[in-house]
Copies of this chain bind each other. A is one copy, B any other.
């Protein structure tokens, strides 16, 4: 191992020497800040990451230098060395659904407050896209991921856990005990909605739903059925649509016109808005002739011509809490107690069920 020394001549491309010019792309780096403040690079790093370890005097000098030079930390370098960055992932089903954007807003607000960036992506209805996105998040070395999972089956989150990335399930109760989740009791919500309709005198009730492969739709149906069962009277008709959009709701509503039920429970406010439109168009009065209730209590439910009764989920709060949970787990992986939080939904009665 002595004089083999085949390494290329040092400084073959001109020694840049005492980091004068700054980083490659002309920006100032930690070294320039250090030089300006008369300290070493390590100290600057400490000022940024563990300010308490630096004496107030030097800290002030360093911060001043940072301000003057307009230093911006290089996140790539930082997270390469530190092993974790300041970004988290958020994956929802559909960015166009107000329910999910409200979740997203909650997440984004928390992350913004705590200095984290949010990589947002949507899975559409495609498991492939979901998997591709998870993979991409793993590449980005996000600190954690919030997901509204698409379907049961293969545990896609394993890929992340194996790499030490914390995950929180959103709007879906965790199946594994070592997994945080924040969700809302959809069975109770469905029960609540239908019980309300029964109390208002409805007997012949229609449930307008999205695909029952979506857990939320199935749970809400289960709740509705339970309400009818425990009341001992009433009947539940079902209309299942492929999508959960106003358009689909309108189709469902037109379908119902043939034989009007006393009341309609929709798995979704978007569906309910469509149903409402179909009914009003044919001069069917809501709520006088047909009671109508939706789910989610999106903002536009109130703004609808006949304000919609709905089952409110604390959507924005859901996002906030899940985000907080995730950061807690990231900040203290050891002492963190995984928890599955399940909220109870809340019935919101408006004109569409108030004759």
Contacts and interface: CB of A to CB of B under 8 A. Distances in A.
A118 B121 contact: yes
Contacts of A276: 303, 305
Interface stretch (A35-43, A54-62, A104-112, A339-347): A104-112
B83 A25 contact: yes
A327 interface: no
Contact of A119 (B80, B87, B245, B270): B87
B129 A121 contact: no
B95 A101 contact: yes
Nearest to A119: B117
Contacts of A137: 117
A150 to B, nearest CB: 15
A229 interface: no
Interface of A: 1, 9-10, 24-25, 27, 72-77, 79-80, 83, 85-87, 95-96, 98, 101-102, 104-105, 108, 112, 115, 117-122, 129, 132-133, 135-141, 162-164, 245-247, 249-250, 270, 273-274, 276-277, 280, 299-300, 302-307
14 contacts: A76-B77, A76-B141, A95-B105, A112-B121, A117-B121, A245-B299, A246-B302, A250-B303, A277-B303, A277-B304, A300-B303, A303-B304, A304-B305, A305-B305
Given A101-B101, A117-B119, A117-B121, 17 more contacts: A72-B138, A72-B139, A95-B101, A95-B108, A98-B98, A112-B132, A112-B133, A246-B300, A246-B302, A247-B302, A273-B303, A276-B303, A276-B305, A277-B304, A280-B305, A300-B303, A304-B304
